[in-house]
Structure 1
Amino acid sequence: MTTPFSGDRIILNDLGFYGYHGLFNEEARLGQRFLIDLQCGVDLSSPAQTDTIGATVSYADIYDVVKSAFETRRMHLIEAVGQNIVDALFTAFSDITWVIVRVRKPEAPIAMVRGEAAIELHRVRPL
């Protein structure tokens, strides 16, 4: 067994979504941009050797699951958004052994000139 968060991984960065997550009424009404970075621990030795799409988890399918998890229900906290994405990935793909997800909120309602608020979750598939 590999050490969590090491080894092969599928990486999707800067996935942009428009959503209505947040604590404030304006966030629920107007929405805002969110950016998601994702790493999924998957053994990639078979697709690397066979060059066969069926031997791996498709990053396009991962994107579809992330998009659906992000858009399915409104949440107050980006921590909950991240956990919802993790749960959906573990449910959809038995080959994913761990997930690192970062949810970034560039227009967080705080007085910053530049930057973003973000959370990052590190999760290992429950036994």
Structure 2
Amino acid sequence: MITIALHGAEFFAFHGFYPEEQKLGTRFIVDVDVSFAPVKNLKDDEISNTVDYERVYGIVEAEMKKTSKLIETVAQAIANEIKSQFPFTDSIRVSLKKMNPPLNGKVAYSNIVITI
């Protein structure tokens, strides 16, 4: 079993339940872990035999550009698209942190974790 990971990918995006969140935007941090058995022998040294983390980053980047009310929706879309492009994966974990959420007190971030 192999796990590739992208941790601390930062994005400025416009996800939020309230209209002002969708206008002002905020910072988000995304962590992705993808576990899988290699498609073929890794000795072949071919990127097609693994999960290409550059493509995974592209998936995250594309989904973060699509405004949603719920960060759960965004995290699920990221996980689903990774599974679609890499169907041989065994487990995909997406953690999406919304930095400084608009609450009545100081909160560093809210977080959602989805594992499929």
Q: Same fold (TM over 0.5)?
A: yes
Q: 1:114 deviation in Å?
A: 4.9
1:102-117 matches, within 5 Å, as: 102-117=95-110
What is the TM-score when the length of structure 1 is the normalising length? 0.81
Q: 1:18 deviation in Å?
A: 1.1
Instruction: Kindly indicate whether residue 22 of structure 2 is the aligned counterpart of residue 28 of structure 1.
Output: yes
Distance in structure 2 (CA, Å) of the matches to 1:55 and 1:28: 39
Equivalent residue for 1:41? 35
Letter in 2 for 1:51: D
Distance in structure 1 (CA, Å) of the matches to 2:29 and 2:35: 20
Match of 2:114 among 85, 101, 121: 121
Distance in structure 2 (CA, Å) of the matches to 1:61 and 1:46: 20
Distance in structure 1 (CA, Å) of the matches to 2:48 and 2:22: 40
Match of 1:10 among 4, 25, 37: 4
Point out 4+ residue stretches in structure 1 off by more than 6 angstroms. Answer: none
After superposition, the Cα gap between the structure-2 partners of 1:50 and 1:108, relative to the gap in structure 1 and judged at 3 Å, is same
Q: 1:88 deviation in Å?
A: 0.9
Q: How many residues align?
A: 115
The alignment-based identity, stated in percent, is 26
What are the ranges of 5 or more consecutive residues in structure 2 without an aligned counterpart? none
